[in-house]
Amino acid sequence: MKILVTAFDPFGGEPVNPAWEAVQRLRAPDRAELRRLQVPTVFGESGDLVCAAMERERPDLVLCVGQAAGRPAITPERVGINLMDASIPDNAGAQPQEQPVIPGGPAAYFSTLPVKALAEAIRDAGVPAAVSNSAGTFVCNQLLYRVLDAIEHRYPGTRGGFIHVPCLPEQARRLGKEKTIPSLELEEIVKGLEAALEYLAKQE
């Protein structure tokens, strides 16, 4: 089984992105081959890179990981919507407003991963998790939509989805908001993502 795991570079002025920090540390499930890919927090370019990696690697599973500041738990995403509406610029300075990810594409795609079971597997590992019904309208959602569109039209045998992770405690401390921004230690994020991958590998 070949697994492609992607994560974003730091954005919004932050020196780290917990998604990439965690993905670098992941252990592959038994009998699985793990490919890691860092992608820029840039509309369009991130989706292009991941779709190119899907064509090159032909993975059985694509799991994209991103940061969701303010969330207290690891959150598998249920749906990606055909909308880009950025509240801040991406790392290239683009800030699209009310634009489709793919003009003429369907309004939304559902993840092809079992999101409720994934959240349960992460909780069983002792890490807080919950299903999310909105990946937002920033670059994370754009990437999820692009991956699911590629699966729909070119790779019907591939499974794919997105998981958001909380901030790291060091990020909350740096902002002086330890009491208002939920966070998880990096080791906990890694443990939760590994539990998700182990579950998915067993469902092959």
Catalytic (active-site) positions: 77, 140, 164
Residue 62 contacts residue 159 (beta carbons within 8 Å):
yes
Residue 203 corresponds to which amino acid?
A: Q
Radius of gyration of the chain (CA): 16
Dihedral over alpha carbons 19, 24, 27, 29 (to 10 degrees):
60
Please give the Cα distance from 145 to 161 (Å, whole number).
Answer: 9
What's the distance, CA 80 to chain centroid? 11
Query: Cα–Cα distances in Å, from 73 out to 52, 127, 163?
Result: 30, 8, 10
In sequence order, the 6+-apart residues with CB closer than 8 A to the CB of 174 are: none
